[in-house]
Every structure is written in C-alpha cells, then in structure tokens.
Structure 1
C-alpha cells in the first residue's frame, strides 16, 4: 500500500498542496520529509505526537524523515491557534528546552539502521542571517497582502499581532527552503494550523529555486473528541510525554478511558496496528463494548511506544491492584503513581488505635462512624479488610515505611503519608 493510501485509510490527511503529484513522487522513489516542533516547553504532550507518528509511518514505508527542533523559531513564537502574544522566554530557557526535546525525540523515534530519522535545529542556519540579508534575500519574496490573508494572521488582526510573530511564517519558510536545498527534503507535514506556514514555504522555494521545483505540503486534521472538546486535555491539564509530568500509569489510564466513539479513530491515528487488527477491534467495540478490548489495546500500544515495556507492565500492575484491592503487591513508586490524584492525608510515626487514627487523620468524621464502618467491613487497610476495633496501627503497617492505603467502601481510596 502506498503511504498516501495508508494515511487516507487512517483518516490522517486534512489538506495537500498537490495530492496526485505527491502520490506519484512517493511511488517513484524514497523521499525526505520533515516536521518541526518549537521548544516552548521541556516536554511534548500527546497532541504533538500526531504529526511525528506520521513521520514514523513514512519511515516504515521506506522514506527518510527529518525532525526539526525550532531553536530559532522558538525564540519568536508561532501565532498559530493563539489570540494573544506569547511571552518570550529567555535564550537560556529555550536552549534547555531544545536539549530536553532532543532527548525526548531520540528516545521515541531514533532507531538504528540506514533509514534513521535525522534531527536538525533551525538555529544552526538562522543565526547566521543578518537583518539586511533577511530583508533583501527573503523579505522581498513575501507579499504583505498574501501574509495578511493567511488564516493564522487574519485571525489576529482584531486583537493585534506584533511584527515579531507576524514574521514567523518567513522564518519557517526559510527552514523549508534550507532543507529543500541541503537535505533534499520535498515534503513538509504539520497540523492543520500550519497550512499557511507550509504554503508560504512552498512559495519561497518556487521563487528562489524555480516554479517547477517538486516540493509539497500536507496537514493532518484537527483532533477533536466525540464530545467536541480538544483532544489531549484532561481535568488536570495536558497529557505529557515526560513521565515526571504525567506518570506512565496516568498516561495508560488516559488511553484506557477513551470513549467508544473515539477509540477506533485513535487506533488508526496513533498505533502501528494493521488494518486487519484495527477492523477486528472495531467490531468488538460494537459487539462486546463492555470488555473494552480496543481501549486496553490502545493503552498498551501507546504506553509501550512512549514509555517502554517495563513502564507498561508497571502501569498494568497498578491498574490490576486498584481493581482487585491487592495493594500490598505495589512498590512505593507504583503507589505514588497510582494514588497521585487521590485524597491524601498525613499521619505521624506513632502507634494508635484504628478508630482514633481514622478520625485524627481525617478519613472518618467521627469515632462513631469509624466504629460503624469497621464493624460493617467497609474499611480496608492496604487491601485487607479491617474489622478489629482494637487494632493498633503503627509505622510497621506502612508500605515501604511511607504509605498506608485506606479503602472505604468499594472505590473510595485515600493515601496516608507517614511523616
């Protein structure tokens, strides 16, 4: 299957500058293509993954991807999708972000072999251009009227846009021209909000290199959930690829909780499963939705891809322990992951009667209620039902000397830190 046919089956194409021309080119030879990310933070989130997974698909089809880290464009700020100016970060912070994103990209996408994904930083060629060269060699090729007509700029005219952000599309166009000339790149891909920047780059290539230059642009659709909200956001914020920002367990749970209406779309977009495998899972969504097999597969594929097999197994262990209540099998690290968003209390390193302890910690409102819940078997300590009103809780009950897990009823967990 041609790579363009596969992307169409996966509903992963929004716009193309020349659909037939790109199909013919990818049939004829192995091409180089690129996608960029600006270092506005020290980690990508899952929304950033979509175009880069597309790069990976091109690689698996025999093409040669280039990942661009925007060390230069990141100092300016892409106005796409914003209604106000970005706050400029210090050059030191941007460089720290460049280094963090580079390591993240290497972990996710760099593989051994001749068809290795290449990485570049646009600061390497942009910082050599002085202001006179910028205006004479590049600025002369851009019409203000055409720039104002781009959606990303037009949407900002009422609220205002600085010359700095207005010039962003020129810098990104210079990137495409540089890669076209020096890395043989013939295709730029990006999100739907990048269409204006991509077409500006193509215009610059044709002005500088000739109207017959074979260069193309392709964007992916805007990802929305079935309820119309933006993909990749939760009540706690973005779902990050950095395990320090979003733990592997939280990452796994995000995908496992996917709506039935979205799961097949996400399997197509994000995983490398075959059409036959996805069609089978799609059928099970219809016939056996209660088993959530498609969601489990999606969660496993994505957690394995981003965090590796070991962290996937850890996320599954936490999930199983919380479902079964077998908490004692978890390590301290796994408890910190699994109970990160659950009610948290503190208790001193002392021995105390279970009834008094539950009230003093704040889990129970009164001794009467505590005695009633214990007697009725509603209280579990570290996964074991507690019905002994005389039991003395001590530091020895803490898992790893740090945590005691209280479950009240079937699902109400509390994490108690021993301090």
Structure 2
C-alpha cells in the first residue's frame, strides 16, 4: 500500500498543477480599429491549452512589433475553475503623413510629401504613396498585406516613377545626368517563425540617363536607356524587446540582388552590364538605465560585375549613411559604414517624449575601378560626429521627428543639418 501512495500523490499533484495552469479563455482588450480575428490568427496561445509563459512572452513581443499596436501587456484572471488570459492592447494611430525637406543637387529647394496607412482594414495592411520634387517630379504607390494567406505568408506590390538629377563620377570629372527609373515590383513575404522572416521579389525597371549640362565629356555618353529585371532576396533576423521609444535587442538584415539588363548589347550601354549586389545591416540596441538607449548599425555592401562602371550602385548621402556629409556626395561599388549613437529621454509625459542624442557616423567607399583595399587604406574614409533631438508621439506609429547636425572631423569636411521622420536606424 505504501508503495502505491507516493506515485498516487505525484499523479494528483501533477494533474492538479496542469489543471490549474490551463487557459480556458483568451480575450483581447482595448481594440478599436484592429480586428480581433486578425490577432487570433497571429498569436500562438490558444484557449483550452496549458499556460506557457514563453509563448505568452513571444505573443506580446510580436503584437508590439505590429504597426497598429503601440504596446501590449498580458494578465491572467481566475474565476472558479476557469482561467482567462487577457491581452491588453494599446493601439497606434496609423494614418501617417510625411514631409521631408532637403537641398537638391542643383542647390534648389527639394521636398517629399507622403501619406501611408499602416493598419488598413484593421489587419495591418499597408497602403500609401508619395510625391517628390527634387529638381524633377517623382511619385510612387505601395500596397502590402503581410498576412494575406496565413500568419506566415503575404504579398506586396509597388510602382515608382523616380526622376532626379544625379552626379556621375567619371575619371575626367563629375557630370550631372537626368536619371529616370520607372519600376513595378512584386514581393512574396514569408515568416519562418517568431524571429526569422524573408522576402522574395522581382521588379521590371525602365531606366534612362540623359546628360544635363552645358559641356559634356568627350567620349562619355550623352544618353543611355536600359530595361532590366531585378531579382531580390532578403532575410531578416529580429529579436527585439520594444517599450515605446526604448528598444533592446538585435536585427540582422541581409539583402541580395541580381540585376539583369535586357538590352545590354545596344550602343552606349557598356556601362550598364549585369551585376550582383548584396548588403548586410547588423543593428544592435541596448537599454541603459531607465532613460537611455544605445543604438549601433554596421553596414557592409558590395557589388560584383560592375566594378569599373561610373554608375555605381551605392551612394554617400545624408539621409542614408553619414549625417552632415551632403546630398549624393559620392558613389561606390562597395561600402563599409558604422553608425552609433546614444539616445536619452529628457522629458516624457503621457503620449509625448523628447529625446536628445549624440552620434558618430563613419564610413569608407570603394570607388569604381578600385579594389577592396580602398575600404581600409583611408583614402575614401569619412568621419562625422554630431548631436540632435527627437520629438516622439508614443501612440502614432513611427512618429519620431528627428533633427541632427553633423560635424565633419577630417580636413575639408562639410557640416550640415539632417531632418527626417523615424529614427535614423
């Protein structure tokens, strides 16, 4: 009898514990625009299953990554034999206008206005477009449904007509061209699991370069036209803990493209041969104390197959990589860039916060015709430091208005203001 007593007691304890931890109901509170049926598709916890704190934590973090959600918390309530798990949702305002102001390459005033809805129909679809005046007119429209088919599969489409004045860096000197690219792109989105996701895309692009100036270079083309197909693959590893403006964790994003020119045999298109490019961004965030956030981004990019082309794919620019350097300062066929900054919240009340930041941006480029050693020999290195501030609306998606001023450290460096919406990275 004594031999049977211990197993029986263990069985009863385990049975009682499992019953005690079983979630009989799953509820959502605070939903206004977001559909509950959409969230139930995404979360991994289900009613009438044993409570799993790891799954609950993953659900909370996944909900907080959605554009339509500002914050999410969980609570468990017990009534008799029933246990109810509640996800409390604080929604974002997701119809976002945008404005970007800059100096065009000809010294004139340039601007870009946009409007995007990030929670269309309550299931986090994206719909939006932009109009830009940067010497010439450009526009684009975008639609994306990341979870159209399931919690793992989605699609996206876009069309853009971009026209800009672009400096092209020939050996004999810099000349400006009117660059136009009309592109239509389709993407397939896939989420492997909570931390791993990927995109596969293909786009058809019609490009043209037309000389824009008074004195063309002898032997250099006055105009080029090319049709091309771009095959793109992207993989992202995301492990983030988000608490409004504070972020802790790591993102690694790897993007590769194969660019195939469909009329590369036509006269003058020898500069536009097929090539492969890749870019890897490793971003790390660390929460420091109660009000600090350290953020760093290491970017490495390279192209193969167009090493001698003056129409190099990677651009040195204020808005992309080094703050204060200027607008489309240089081009390269490879780039190595490090951005690091400390963000500190000086004021926070309710929905509003003010952050200050101090940063260092450094990078080097491989110019057309050079080898990879140029990334490390100092001949193309740029080093900038600076300060800035952010005005943050905590309940509007990506509503971070930033203003930075970058100071060039090396000789003959420029200084400049950089304005934008959203954190720099």
> Which has the larger strand fraction?
2
TM-score by length of 2: 0.23
> Which has the larger helix fraction?
1
Greater relative contact order (CA < 8 Å, ≥ 6 in sequence): 1
TM-score by length of 1: 0.23
